[in-house]
């Protein structure tokens, strides 16, 4: 495709002149938007508009005007009535490349772009359309698009940025991400209005079309099954050969097996809840959690509250885990329950220690890791009766081991946020929360 080198993003004057209208279709939350509707933009003819001029300005090839005329049943392109709404296929529009930047990267192994001309990826690297990423085990990776949508890829994921571009009509970039293996967490912070460019995540057996929401997508190539789990908002999903869609709302999910036929929407399972600790004869501690009926459980563990380095990760048949050297320094566990159809439920983060008594309260030592963060600014809050009590807020002075350890924190709910520079003058942030549980120790 040949791009017009003089093409620029439209000014507000152009938008008011052309009176762009919404895409044909629903709003996502209000109704189940048809994914095929995203293939077109809609434009209202105004006084003074000439179809031939519009084609030269906005179509890749002026000859494509005949295609637009045929789709809209226009007999004479020189005599189109004012007020007529015409549909223009997006794949005929001129576009300019959009991009994504790597805003979080923690890897045990070097992460590289896949394919010919592979290059090493660093914090702050720019990714463009066509990039293929293979996330090594033990790697944490987040890319942020131009509209501030963040895509977090878990270790082992394989994705291709199949479409990442802008045209003159849409305020947001058009995005299509092919997930070929593993799992991706997507956060669209600003709801895309009707008429905006499509944002889709595809697997070999499913298509998810979104507006503004938080959701997760997974694909297991061994059994060719796909999973869509919605945290907030709504996502329209279907198999690649299906026309009807299933609209999953918050706390719901849709699984699609190898046959490409989406299963009914089902609720996401709650995360396992901590119950007790049982000391073992060999000195280890068995942490037992109460779990809903589930096929399996997913567990990630770490030595830091912000999971900067994931120590272990995998599927469990029971919601319990053996911990060696269980002491006053908290250990960190992230659990989720998995349905028979493969949907991952809600996650819960726990920090658990063998507490020591101070002021008649059991307490833990809680470390955070700041390795790999430039100019970090940190906030830690304790949540009590719905109110947030700030434990710390401010810049972090780097230590030799890159750890900040809070000593003597009492049990309760905590949330944290780390703001940092991924490039000079450009900032990103990570945030999370956990429940701190101090269990009685021998001196409690």
Residues 241 and 217 in one domain: yes
Contact 21, 42 (CB under 8 A): yes
Mean pLDDT across the stretch 408-421?
97
CA distances, 128 to each of 164, 249, 287 (Å): 7, 31, 45
> Encoding tokens for residue 249?
């709302």
Specify if 203 maps to a domain.
yes
Mean pLDDT across the stretch 370-390?
95
Q: Quote the percentage of the chain above a pLDDT of 70.
A: 90
> Which position has the higher pLDDT, 11 or 132?
132
The torsion angles phi and psi of 7, rounded to 5 degrees, stand at: -65, 135
Residues 60 and 171 in one domain: no
> CATH no. for residue 34?
3.10.350.10
> Which position has the higher pLDDT, 242 or 431?
431
Residues 328 and 358 in one domain: yes
Window from 118-127, 203-212, 255-264 with minimum mean pLDDT:
203-212
> Which position has the higher pLDDT, 295 or 244?
295
CA distances, 11 to each of 167, 192, 228 (Å): 13, 20, 37
Residues 88 and 103 in one domain: no
Q: Which domain holds residue 360?
A: 269-444
Judging by DSSP bridges, how do beta strands 99-106 and 344-358 pair with one another? unpaired
Tens of pLDDT, residues 193-202: 777 888 999 9
Specify if 424 maps to a domain.
yes
Alpha helices in 271-332 (DSSP H): none
Residues 83 and 102 in one domain: no
In degrees, to the nearest 5, what angle opens at C-alpha 125 toward C-alphas 162 and 99? 40
Q: How confident is the model at residue 279 (pLDDT cuts 50, 70, 90)?
A: confident
Contact 239, 38 (CB under 8 A): no
Q: How confident is the model at residue 15 (pLDDT cuts 50, 70, 90)?
A: very low
Tens of pLDDT, residues 280-304: 888 899 999 999 999 999 999 999 9
Q: What is the pLDDT of residue 6?
A: 28
Residue 29 has pLDDT above 80, yes or no: no
Window from 14-28, 382-396, 420-434 with minimum mean pLDDT:
14-28
Residues 204 and 277 in one domain: no
CA distances, 170 to each of 1, 246, 409 (Å): 19, 26, 49
Which of the listed residues 47, 67, 92 is the one where a domain comes to its end? 92
Specify if 379 maps to a domain.
yes
Residue 9 has pLDDT above 50, yes or no: no
Residue 443 has pLDDT above 80, yes or no: no
How many other CB atoms are found less than 10 A from the CB of residue 227?
23
Residues 159 and 236 in one domain: yes
Q: What is the pLDDT of residue 121?
A: 92
Tens of pLDDT, residues 128-185: 999 999 999 888 999 999 999 999 999 899 999 999 999 998 888 999 999 999 999 9
> Which position has the higher pLDDT, 81 or 14?
81
Which of the listed residues 92, 123, 150 is the one where a domain comes to its end? 92
Distance of alpha carbon 304 from alpha carbon 310, whole angstroms:
9
Residues 204 and 331 in one domain: no
Three-class DSSP category at 87? strand
Specify if 30 maps to a domain.
yes
Q: What is the pLDDT of residue 442?
A: 53
Specify if 305 maps to a domain.
yes
Mean pLDDT across the stretch 29-57?
72
Window from 111-125, 279-293, 336-350, 364-378 with minimum mean pLDDT:
111-125
Q: What's the half-sphere exposure (Cβ side, CA atoms, 13 Å) at 72?
A: 24
Residues 53 and 178 in one domain: no
In degrees, to the nearest 5, what angle opens at C-alpha 413 toward C-alphas 250 and 388? 90
- φ/ψ region of 25 (left if φ > 0, alpha if ψ in -120 to 50, else beta) reads left
Residues 243 and 277 in one domain: no
Residues 227 and 298 in one domain: no
Specify if 189 maps to a domain.
yes
Which one-letter DSSP state was computed for residue 228?
E
The torsion angles phi and psi of 359, rounded to 5 degrees, stand at: 65, 40
> CATH no. for residue 248?
2.60.120.1440
Specify the number of domains making up the chain: 3
Specify if 1 maps to a domain.
no
Residues 188 and 319 in one domain: no
Q: What is the pLDDT of residue 37?
A: 61
What rounded mean pLDDT belongs to the chain? 86
9-18: long-range pairs with CB below 8 Å, 24+? 9/96, 9/166, 9/168, 10/168, 10/169, 14/168, 17/46, 18/43, 18/46, 18/49
- φ/ψ region of 375 (left if φ > 0, alpha if ψ in -120 to 50, else beta) reads left
Distance of alpha carbon 272 from alpha carbon 75, whole angstroms:
64
Window from 71-80, 97-106, 214-223, 366-375 with minimum mean pLDDT:
71-80
Specify if 5 maps to a domain.
no
Q: What is the pLDDT of residue 33?
A: 34
């Amino acid at each position: 495709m040949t791009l017009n080198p003089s093409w620029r993003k439209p000014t507000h004057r152009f938008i008011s002149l052309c009176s762009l209208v919404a895409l044909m279709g629903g709003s996502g939350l209000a109704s189940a938007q048809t994914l095929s509707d995203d293939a077109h933009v809609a434009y209202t003819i105004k006084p003074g508009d000439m179809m031939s001029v519009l084609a030269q300005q906005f179509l890749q090839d002026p000859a494509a005007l005949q295609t637009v005329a045929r789709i809209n049943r226009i007999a004479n392109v020189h005599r189109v009535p004012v007020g007529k709404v015409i549909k223009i296929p997006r794949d005929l529009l001129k576009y300019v490349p959009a991009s994504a930047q790597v805003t979080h990267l923690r890897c045990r192994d070097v992460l590289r772009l896949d394919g010919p001309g592979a290059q090493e990826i660093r914090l702050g690297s720019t990714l463009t359309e066509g990039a293929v990423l293979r996330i090594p085990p033990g790697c944490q990776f987040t890319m942020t698009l131009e509209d501030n949508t963040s895509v977090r890829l878990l270790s082992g994921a394989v994705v291709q940025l199949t479409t990442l571009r802008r045209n003159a009509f849409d305020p947001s970039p058009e995005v299509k991400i092919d997930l070929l293996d593993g799992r991706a967490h997507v956060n669209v912070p600003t709801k895309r209005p009707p008429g905006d460019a499509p944002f889709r995540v595809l697997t070999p057996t499913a298509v998810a079309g979104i507006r503004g929401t938080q959701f997760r997508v997974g694909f297991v190539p061994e059994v060719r099954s796909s999973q869509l789990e919605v945290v907030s908002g709504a996502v329209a999903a279907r198999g690649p050969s299906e026309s009807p869609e299933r609209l999953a709302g918050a706390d719901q999910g849709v699984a699609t097996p190898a046959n490409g036929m989406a299963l009914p929407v089902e609720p996401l399972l709650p995360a396992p809840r901590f119950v007790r600790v049982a000391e073992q004869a060999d000195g280890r501690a068995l942490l037992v959690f109460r779990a809903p009926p589930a096929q399996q459980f997913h567990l990630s563990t770490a030595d830091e509250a912000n999971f900067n380095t994931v120590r272990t990760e995998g599927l469990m048949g029971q919601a319990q885990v053996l911990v060696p050297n269980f002491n006053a320094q908290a250990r960190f566990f992230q659990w989720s329950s998995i349905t028979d159809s493969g949907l991952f439920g809600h996650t819960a983060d726990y920090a658990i220690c063998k507490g020591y008594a101070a002021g008649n309260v059991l307490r833990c030592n809680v470390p955070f890791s700041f390795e790999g963060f430039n100019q970090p600014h940190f906030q830690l809050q304790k949540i009590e009766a719905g109110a947030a009590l700030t434990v710390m807020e401010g810049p972090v002075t780097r230590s030799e081991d890159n750890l900040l350890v809070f000593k003597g924190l009492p049990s309760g709910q905590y949330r944290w946020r780390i703001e940092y520079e991924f490039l000079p003058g450009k900032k990103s942030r990570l945030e999370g929360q956990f429940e701190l549980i101090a269990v009685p120790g021998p001196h409690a």
